[in-house]
Structure 1
């Protein structure tokens, strides 16, 4: 019997929670959770800012839950912006994700994972550049191969990796809390002494915490593959955000039971410094390995989610046609995943990946501003749109203003990165005019475009999505 070639609903609530938690809890809480402490200058105020940032990101996630439940389509923010403002703003969102957020994120994470896997092998010297890059390439290839082969494999890998993150965090939490209960509380005495309460410091600490919680939006890219999305999408978001907030707060308390604020600020990898002081030479190698696994989970979640975004974009003629096709045997967006891999490999050659990451921040804040503005506008544009979840309209309006402030702050703090990101967006605008608006292209150019689409269709064995109703059963 013929079978439809399309994305299928096979992601469960547990797997949805694992995807969100696995993306949010990446390198930040293990490697350098010091941004807030650096700007607040006190233990007490830093913990309050961790909670405030978690609450803010939870409110953002609730707005996304309303949008995802009312428009249960894969594509996330791209779909919401297109529904509110139309074709061109949606393309700009897609372009930012395509050129900055997705490939830069995966490239940086793969390099971090490679570094921490190799560090125990080279304990007394720098990790060789070639070895670090080669292992990063292998990691990306492995994750992309799993995602191209089977969605269930990718989500199960995410569950396993998320479990590894939980183990690493439990090690930190158990050791730290035992020390705390045994009276190691000197770092919490007079916890608010020296607090920096200026508007600039609070804003910068909020900025640091805002990115530490990023990743909650990625399940919205997979809505069409989520079982019972109207129930499971908001539930997965809520469970994930509450879990992450609690984990972040308890982990910071555990760190501070062992390490002084000055030790945390001087450490490039807080979890590794923590392990060196508490686990002994026989076991301290375990923490770098668990960090590497954790970071791989974030990269896997980004690839899983973003490939669906580019797949949807191609179906709307905002990406090359072959990226909107499905692998005929495995029912996965193999073309989009393959292009992601190529872009990541390009970014991995950069010697200053952190410059790219900071540029990525400008793009993400811009997208959030557009999404929340669109959510407010849709209340007036489509008042009768079925909304299984409905947040007060003041919430997305306030979040839009705050996100716009974050854009301005990013531009102020990272001028060169923001200008380069802006230039990339402008370059995307030119491509939009050529690829989408220029309808009567010369036959010579159109034949080359067709050749490229046919080549990738044969190379990856991908076909246009085919639903049950499109099949001729006779």
Structure 2
């Protein structure tokens, strides 16, 4: 992977901007789709809110671990360079493979399915929209976002800016409405809030999966090191202030939901925020599904933008098929990478619902989070002389490794699902690609990929990135 070197004197982003970036990165579609699943797996209001707070604490500790890694190993590529430094090329490649084949496309599919749920909810008042409608609408969203990102980087950026504003509007509306309702005395659902809870080890694991899905993004916060003034001071401060701010928003949104819905009503709601809007906002209730749809489609657009670039980098570095790193001659966008993301994302929406996909995504992502943070612990002993501008107490990464192990193992023991087996098989199948195509680069492997690359170039009118600049 390539080194990115920056001079501190040219950095422009201060602490406040860093906190804003953290909040804007994390808050997305998760808070609108995860509350039902968190409540379902905890059984009562009290433990539900505890899980949401616990997910925030996990996000803070995980972000601090990644802050140490990001300032110690200043290379681009997410977890890839950290795994490479700690454990060597095979775990690093499997992360790259899993990101392109499993984690990023499933994340894309989850967000588009959540968009479809909220976009279709107003047309099916009081009941769940048919699954075929949701999946068709999600497929249309994937196709639209893919086309937008293929056409123009500027267009995708303009769309993202507009939808980010819409996201913050609906978050503020729900929080302010909830605070007003609390002041008015709507606290009956918080009385005896731990009664009826159904807590099991696997259930808590699944509840954490869904809560942490809403916090996803904490692992990429170390990237702002390259843009922060005085990063070794401001990065941990941005984490310490930014993620608790997100935690406060999520707790207040969940509290707002419970001011107007009992736990049973929330679980029966086809779209929680829509039900909240119908009961609280009355004549302007139509704003809620509209702005939530904007928010989720904005998250999907951002996911497509960043995931397409990850696939592009994987192809450029020789970890995926080479044509994935090619650029459109006319549009100057990573067309094959974006199209491949859209195709794989489309496949994921066919058999699975949102909860199954979240479990599938979370299982895969926490394997690599745990392995990466374990690498931090290992390097404390194997690479003692490495410069560590940010050094956290070793108890934090050890605790995070244990949390990661719990999140991976507990749901399998408590409630085994085929999705976990499929996920493991997808990850391991990367070895079938790694040895012939990456490690040994055998001739027969090159003969297979050469005609595929030629046809992709002809159909999509793409060339290697260095040629597109001529």
Q: Same fold (TM over 0.5)?
A: yes
Which residue is 2:279 aligned to?
277
Query: Deviation at 1:317?
Result: 1.8
Map of 1:264 onto structure 2: 266
Question: Root-mean-square deviation (CA), in Å?
Answer: 3.6
Which one is further off, 18-27 or 414-423?
A: 18-27
Q: 1:360-400, CA deviations, whole angstroms, 9 ceiling, x for partnerless residues?
A: 22211211111111111222333333333222222112211
Find the partner of 2:435 among 433, 436, 443: 433
Match in the other structure for 1:293: 294
Q: 1:323 is matched with which residue?
A: 324
Q: Which residue of 1 aligns with 2:246?
A: 244
Identify which of 58, 69, 72 aligns with 1:70. 72
Change (3 A) 1:235 1:301: farther
Shift of 1:112: 2.6
Is contact 2:102-2:361 (8 Å) kept?
Answer: yes
Alpha-carbon contact 2:209-2:358 (below 8 Å) kept = no
8 Å Cα contact 1:24/1:298 also seen in 2? no
Query: What pairs up with 1:11-410 in 2 under 5 angstroms?
Result: 21=23, 24-121=26-123, 123=125, 132-148=134-150, 151=153, 154-193=156-195, 202=204, 205-218=207-220, 227-228=227-228, 231=231, 237-238=239-240, 240-280=242-282, 282-326=283-327, 332-350=333-351, 352=353, 354-410=355-411
User: More deviation in 50-59 or 69-78?
Assistant: 69-78
Shift of 1:332: 4.7
Q: Secondary structure at the match of 2:76?
A: coil
296-305 or 11-20: which moved more?
A: 11-20
What is the distance in 1 between the residues matched to 2:335 and 2:89?
25
141-150 or 255-264: bigger deviation: 141-150
Q: Deviations over 1:228-271 (max 9, x none)?
A: 59738666655542331010111122222222233223323221
Q: For the residues of structure 1 that align with 2:452 and 2:159, how far apart are their CA atoms?
A: 32
Task: Provide closer, same or farther for how the CA distance between residues 330 and 395 of structure 1 changes in structure 2, counting only shifts above 3 A.
Answer: farther
Deviations 1:189-238 (A, max 9, x none): 34445556766665554444333322322456x679x6459738666655
TM-score, L = length of structure 2: 0.84
Tell me which residue corresponds to 1:3.
none
Shift of 1:74: 2.7
Which residue is 2:446 aligned to? Answer: 446
Tell me the residue number matched to 1:414: 416
- What SS is found at the alignment partner of 1:75? coil
Aligned residues: 458
Q: Deviations over 1:42-84 (max 9, x none)?
A: 4334323321221111111121122223333331112211221
Distance 1:316 1:25, change over 3 A: same
The CA deviation at 1:322 is 2.2
The alignment partner of 1:388 has SS state of coil
- Structure 1 gap segments, 5+ residues each: 1-5
- Inter-partner Cα distance in structure 1 for 2:140 and 2:377: 44
Relative to structure 2, which stretch is displaced further, 169-178 or 63-72?
A: 63-72
CA distance in 2, matches of 1:229, 1:101: 32
Contact preservation (8 Å) 2:34, 2:210: no
Q: Write the distance in 1 (CA, Å) between the matches of 2:115 and 2:382.
A: 45
**Per the alignment, do residues 15 and 135 of structure 1 end up closer, same or farther by CA in structure 2, a change over 3 Å counting?**
farther
The answer on whether the counterparts of 2:373 and 2:397 sit within 8 Å (CA) in structure 1 is yes
Q: Quickly say closer, same or farther: Cα 1:324–1:236, change in 2 above 3 A.
A: farther
Q: 1:321 to 1:230 in 2, by over 3 A?
A: farther
Shift in alpha-carbon separation, 1:148–1:387, aligned structure 2, 3 A: farther
Contact 1:103 1:340 in 2 (8 A): yes
State whether residues 40 and 201 of structure 1, in contact with CA within 8 Å, keep that contact through their aligned partners in structure 2. yes
Task: Decide which moves more: 31-40 or 310-319.
Answer: 31-40
Instruction: Tell which deviates more after alignment, 28-37 or 399-408.
Output: 28-37
3-state SS, counterpart of residue 217 of structure 2: coil
Cα distance in 2 for partners of 1:228, 1:457 equals 39
